[in-house]
Amino acid sequence: MSVEAREARQPWILLSPALTAVGLLLFVPLIFIVVYSFWLRTASGADQVGFFLDNWQEALTDRFYRDILISTLRIAAITTLVCALMGYPAAYFIARSRGNKAILLLMLMLPFWISYIIRTMSWINILGVSGALNTFLMWTGLVSEPIQMLYNEPTVILGLVHFLLPFMILNVYVSLDGIDMTLEEAATSLGANRWEAFLQVTLPLSLPGLAAGGLLCFVLGAGTYITPLVLGGPSDAMFANLVFEAIITQLNWPLGSALSLMLLAVLGLLVAIYNRYLGMAQLMKGLG
């Protein structure tokens, strides 16, 4: 074999274990659940192989699933919006701060490293019946009985914001940090005031970061089932909870496959639109 041919083969040898893993553990399984979604769970508990449209009919026409899909998208959208409103100024502060940016960023990354389940349950300590807030309110005498503030949609959103905010801040920060500060100064020297300069120069230039952060918050938020289980009430189930129910509790794997694919299609569409207009590179910058 010639040297060139060997040289050309080397990267493929290095890539093959990872590509095999992704192929066998992600792509083939995804194709498999497409097939599985057309099987049927019978009363005996066995899955009947075949081509049945029942699961898809149930998943696509049952109002119950549609309503939960819509409320899942609504919760994800509100979460993303709150993350943007809270995160943008914070990212701007870090990017423009004259202090130690590395420390400011590290401080932000610390909660990011702290366990998701711990951070989620920590809100019970704050908002629970005997949590910090109720204890404080009782102490001040504002209320005489503890108020149940947990287990509703706002607390689910609160938990999600707490979980996803670092993704937003990091992405916006990366994008703000790459903007030449003299551009804003040029705008002000040409007569724009600070606010106008921000609106017309900095904000548009940072939109890719905002979009990347937004996409991450939305997709991660819409795919969660742990937060609603910990911080939500019985009626706050999100779409991923339905998948979990179907697969783990009811053991209806064909229906669970169809529901998973529905979630994948909706969120995949968003990722595809994002990729079409902004490309994956921005997203990778924020993750890397």
Closer to other proteins by Cβ: residue 17 or 191: 17
Closer to other proteins by Cβ: residue 126 or 207: 126
Size of the site for other proteins (CB under 8 A): 88
* Contact call for residue 277 and other proteins (CB under 8 A): no
* Contact call for residue 36 and other proteins (CB under 8 A): yes
Tokens 């893993």, residue located: 21
Contact 150, 231 (CB under 8 A): yes
* Contact call for residue 234 and other proteins (CB under 8 A): no
CB atoms within 10 A of CB 43: 5
The closest alpha carbon to 256, from 243, 237, 238, 239, belongs to 243
Which residue stretch of 50-58, 62-70, 71-79, 266-274 sits at the interface with other proteins (rule: CB under 8 A)?
Answer: 266-274
* Contact call for residue 207 and other proteins (CB under 8 A): no
* Contact call for residue 179 and other proteins (CB under 8 A): no
The closest alpha carbon to 153, from 222, 71, 86, 224, belongs to 71
Q: How far apart are CA 244 and CA 207, in angstroms?
A: 35
The binder of other proteins chosen from 176, 240, 255, 282 (CB under 8 A): 240
* Contact call for residue 25 and other proteins (CB under 8 A): yes
The binder of other proteins chosen from 153, 174, 263, 282 (CB under 8 A): 263
* Contact call for residue 93 and other proteins (CB under 8 A): yes
Interior angle at CA 255, CA 252 and CA 260, nearest 5? 115
The closest alpha carbon to 184, from 207, 203, 208, belongs to 203
